Chains A and B, each alone.
Chain A
Amino acid sequence: MSRLSEERVATAKEIIGRFPRKKSALIPLLHLAQEQDGYVAQDAMVHIAELLDLAPAEVYGTASFYEMFKFHPVGKYCINICTNISCQLVGAWNLLHHAEERLGIKSGGTTQDGLFTIEDVECIAACTEAPALQVNYRYRYKVTPESFDALINDLESGKLTGEVPPHGTLASVRQTTTAAWSNRGVEEQAQVDAR
């Protein structure tokens, strides 16, 4: 929908500063856009292209490769149910089926009120806690139909607002650029010889 806000442009510039080449900041910047709007908007991609001296097509070219980036609005809560082998072995498909029934949508769909999207996803590295899911990339372990319903109720009632930010927000803490930043290590052979 929109270009990056002033505050996010400042964050973007800090991120760009941590790489020897600007384009390396592309994926983190796309996440910033998704954090702002819940998805990666076209105007945001044009803005990112300006910030990185790229063509908008180059931005989209990279962005479209990656599963996490959405190019149209999705639910405020994106529920990713793992159905890979460890989860399949202990009932993941039954869980997905239950989720589809409970929310009245199929995997990949979004509820009419714009609150929930569900997806069946690949391994999320919680195999010993199967079946597992993520809601906006926050884990829930050993999920049962009952605990799934409780999760939906809690999300609907706003009980988890602090714990589960809207779709698009990943880490709530960022690496900060300190005054001591830009400490290149060894850059040339003379420095190695001096050791």
Chain B
Amino acid sequence: MSVPSGPRIITSRFDVADGHTYAGYVRTGGYVSLRKAVSSMTPQQVHDEVKAAEIQGRGGAGFPAGTKWGFLPAGVHPRYLVINGDESEPGTYKDRLLMERDPHQLIEGIVIACYALNASQAFLYVRGEMAHAQERLAQALNEAYANNMVGRNICGSDFSVDITLTWGAGAYIVGEETALIESLEGERGMPRLKPPFFPAVKGLYMQPTIVNNVETLANVPYIVGKGGGDFKSIGAPTSTGMRMFAVSGHVNKPGVFEVPNGVTTFRMLFEAPEYCGGIRNGGSIKAFIPGGASAMWFFPEHLDMALDKPTVDKAGSMLGSGAIVAMDQTTDMVAACWRIVRFFARESCGKCTPCREGTTWLERVLKRMLDGHGRPEDIDLLFEVSESISPGIAWPPRQTTICPLGPSAVSPIASAVRRFRHEFEHYIEHRRPIDGVESPFATHLASHA
């Protein structure tokens, strides 16, 4: 199987032993784009390159970054840049690598973005549990300050900006941008209502704020260095550049790959020898998650689909945060569905009733099926509760809540129950999974019996 190739853009230093140090970064072409931006480009010109690159945000929603930057209202200052390093969508593993292995690339992207946005200050918010990433970023920031790449009169220009490194303390919801802002203000991480609190207008400290994902900003040095047109020529016109995908689950070689966006297919990632090298034990795909726990699941008929945002959107799911989870024919779909729903039930912030109550109900109903206490009416109940959280149970999901967390819990229900309804019915009737699938709790539950 031949796969499309492209330049390694943001993972280029992953094999460089000292790529995370200032010396290693500069030796491999680092900080050239920042120097170029502050010495020979206007902020508008930098913004124009990012717009021309048509880079879609890599955090989950896939909104074009250049367009987002344009939402800042003119003449309102101070304004802030907030970097979302709170990677916690189940299955997602790429921002942590970018922070640990190439922290200067991210810092360079941040400073360039601050220049383009006329920002007053940047706040780099890293997930609390990521001690090593915090360490690497702190070290890199200290070096970048010492070498005049952050701070006063950057690279000898009249441009100055500070980056404050800060971190969370364990809450998935803080990955939602308005909740992240609340957390950054020292509050409980509960999302704000939009409108009126669109961050670009009323964000951090009620000032205009841009919230960008780590991977998005890590691409900025390349875009400014080579030009937006160069970036746009990679991948597909509808999904530009290279993009990182973490492929986990039942594959022979799980891994994180930077691949040409929009043209690589799911099958290539699962089967090609340079990627995952096939399904484990020579098995076959039963279902897979194309873009994180919040996404609707895909099935064998979707394998040849390209990882292209509009294509995947149209098929009724999303590429989200680049988290692909493969499930082979032995997977217990009731257990898989339950585990994802439990995640959302645990992580609901409790602000909106449909989510707080609904996710908890869904989790309890699924748990009692697994425990052998399922009732015949439970499948209908799952859909009824799902309807209350997300009317129509459609894609993109409708919300009765402030943020998409609650509706996300409906995705695994809609996916698994609709496709594998017989597995749920079998659990209810026979108190165990269908023949040929493995309960993930074989040992665990036996010990409680």
Contacts and interface: CB of A to CB of B under 8 A. Distances in A.
Interface of A: 18-21, 23-28, 30-31, 52, 61-63, 65-69, 80, 83-86, 88-94, 96-98, 100-101, 122-130, 134, 136-139, 169-176, 178, 180-189, 191-192, 195
A127 B145 contact: no
B89 A123 contact: yes
Interface residues of B, number: 85
A189 B73 CA distance: 11
A66 B170 contact: yes
A171 B136 CA distance: 8
A137 B185 CA distance: 24
22 contacts: A18-B164, A19-B164, A21-B186, A25-B186, A27-B183, A31-B128, A68-B170, A83-B339, A84-B293, A85-B90, A88-B440, A94-B443, A125-B95, A127-B325, A128-B93, A171-B138, A174-B138, A175-B164, A183-B161, A191-B77, A191-B118, A195-B118
B185 A24 contact: yes
B339 A88 contact: yes
Interface string B178-197: 00000111111100000000
Given A122-B347, A123-B88, A123-B89, A97 B139 contact: no
Q: Determine the main DSSP class of B at the interface with A.
A: mixed
B205 A85 contact: no
Contacts of B189: 65-66
B339 A184 contact: no
B335 A183 contact: no
Interface in B334-358: 335-336, 339-340, 343, 346-347, 349
Contact of A183 (B78, B160, B250, B254): B160
B77 A186 contact: yes
Given A20-B121, A123-B91, A171 B134 contact: yes
Contacts of A31: 128, 167, 169
A62 B331 contact: no
Contact of A86 (B91, B114, B184): B91
A88 B51 CA distance: 40
Given A127-B246, A192-B118, A122 B88 contact: yes
B259 to A, nearest CB: 14
Contacts of A137: 129-131
Given A30-B169, A66-B170, A125-B96, A85 B293 contact: yes
Interface in B249-296: 249-250, 254-256, 289, 293
Residue picked from B248, B250, B254, B336, most chain A C-beta under 10 Å: B248
Given A21-B185, A138-B132, A183-B160, A94 B442 contact: yes
Pick the 10 closest A-B CB pairs, nearest first.
A67-B170, A26-B186, A66-B169, A23-B186, A183-B160, A127-B248, A68-B170, A171-B134, A65-B188, A128-B254
A94 B443 CA distance: 6
Residue picked from A23, A171, A192, most chain B C-beta under 10 Å: A171
B135 A172 contact: yes
Given A84-B339, A183-B161, 10 more contacts: A19-B164, A26-B186, A31-B167, A65-B189, A86-B325, A123-B92, A129-B254, A170-B134, A188-B77, A192-B77
